[in-house]
Amino acid sequence: MAETLVLPDGITLESGARIAPLEIAYCTYGSPEHPAVYICHALTGDAEAAVWWDQLVGPGRPVDTDRFHVICANLLGGCKGTTGPGSINPATGERYGLDFPLLTMRDLVETHRALLRELGIERLHAAVGGSLGGMQILQWALDHPEEIGRAVLVCTTARLTAQNIAFSKVARHAILEHDAMDVARMMAHITYVSDEALRRKFDRARRRPEAGMTLRTDFEVEHYLDHQAEVFLARFDPHTYLYLSRVMDYFEPFAEPVTAPSTRFLLVSFDSDWRFGTEHSVFIEQQLLERGADVVRHEVASPWGHDSFLMNVPEYHELVRGFLYQEAAHAL
């Protein structure tokens, strides 16, 4: 589904390292005549926003592809068509692997901007992202507010906590020291869902209690984690996990001088999210308000934890729809 843009001259990273050529896999939806809405995906997403974010993006959805021209690209460092550690390093003829340079949030943003330049889009009606997606949009809006009319930041953060970094570190340690992407994914998955969600879905149910106790998989929640890991391993490059998770750890945009952004912000958090919960959105709100920005923030009740941003949560969807569409009508 995704198209690929090839930039032979590539991109110079914030670190000074150069990646060339640069390939960017992207999808577009809706008419180019409509206001442009850019979607940034999270850690394990891809360019096909209308697939992985089908609850939010599509005909009649809050990000309505009948009304907006929607663009989404696989992230720099990704493994879904955009240049990343799994790509061939032209200097060696081999895959980059751990020779891929470290990335910053700004590098991810510059890749999106390079794509938009090629597409001839100078200004976005809006940009929308959850988790790592929201972090990119925040960086983008702080650096180039004139390019983004409205920013929708869902369950995101401007500053990972020590606990966030700790989980991230253990996942990377599992991959780097033990080639254990399955362990990394299982652990991360637990942090994406709430205690309550796991309780509702599985509680303490066992698949075959008549078989007696075992050290291996028995409880339904264990089968679920096994399945999650298996599916994920088949589709994801562990190196991308290393690089993109690290971008998040180092992200701290308000540690730099930031002037008043003209972008208007909608911040949404979920009350059961224990990864980037409401306190993270409150921090972003405070930082933006101190700098004179226009910010609306909502905490939405949802039992699904961090993953709520991908789920059908009507209150959240209505907030996004209202912010994008009413404003669009006003702007058009």
**Alpha-carbon dihedral 120, 123, 125, 129, rounded to 10 degrees:** 90
Q: Binding segment for a second copy among 53-61, 130-138, 142-150, 220-228 (CB under 8 A)? A: 220-228
Does 15 participate in catalysis according to the annotation?
no
Q: Show Cβ contacts of residue 180 under 8 Å, excluding neighbours closer than 6 positions.
A: 174
Q: Is 309 in contact with 155 (CB distance < 8 Å)?
A: yes
Non-local (6+) Cβ contacts of 161 within 8 A are none
Question: Residue 9 interacts with a second copy (CB under 8 A)?
Answer: no
User: Which tokens go with 255?
Assistant: 């540690």
What span, in angstroms and rounded, lies between the C-alpha atoms of 137 and 140?
Answer: 5
Nearer to a second copy, 48 or 182 (CB): 182
CA-wise closest residue to 80 among 41, 54, 120, 137: 41
Letters for 164-203 (x = contact with a second copy by CB under 8 A, - = none) are -xxx-xx-xxx-xxxxx-xx--xx--x----x--xx-xxx
Question: Which span (50-58, 87-95, 242-250, 284-292) binds a second copy, by CB under 8 A?
Answer: 242-250
Instruction: Name the nearest CA neighbour of 138 among 276, 312, 308.
Output: 276
Asked if 204 is part of the footprint of a second copy (rule: CB under 8 A), the reply reads yes
Residue from 1, 215, 329, 332 touching a second copy (CB under 8 A): that is 215
Region near a second copy per CB under 8 A, out of 40-48, 50-58, 108-116, 241-249: 241-249
Would you state the structure tokens that stand for residue 206, as one six-digit string?
A: 């066992």
| Residue 173, token pair as written in the block | 């340690």
Of 131, 168, 245, 269, the catalytic one is: 131
Q: Which is nearer to a second copy, 122 or 250 (CB)?
A: 250
Q: Which among 112, 125, 280, 306 is annotated as catalytic?
A: 306
- How far, in Å, CA of 111 to CA of 82, rounded? 10
Min CB(332)–a second copy separation in Å: 43
Joined tokens for residue 116: 């938009």
Instruction: Confirm if 148 and 141 have CB atoms less than 8 A apart.
Output: yes
Write down the least CB distance from residue 179 to a second copy, Å: 7
Binding a second copy by CB under 8 A: which of 88, 98, 289, 301?
98
Give yes or no for a contact between 113 and 58, defined as CB atoms under 8 angstroms apart.
no
Q: Is 250 a binder of a second copy (CB under 8 A)?
A: yes
**Catalytic residue at 273?**
yes
Of 38, 16, 12, nearest to 27 by C-alpha is 38
Position among 3, 252, 315, 318 found at the interface with a second copy (CB under 8 A): 252
For a second copy, what does the binding mask look like between residues 36 and 75, x meaning CB under 8 A?
----------------------------------------
**φ/ψ (deg, to 5) at 163:** -65, -40
Which residues are annotated as catalytic?
131, 273, 306
Using CB under 8 A, list all residues that contact a second copy: 15, 98, 102, 104, 159-163, 165-167, 169-170, 172-174, 176-180, 182-183, 186-187, 190, 195, 198-199, 201-204, 212-217, 219, 221-222, 225, 242-243, 246, 249-250, 252
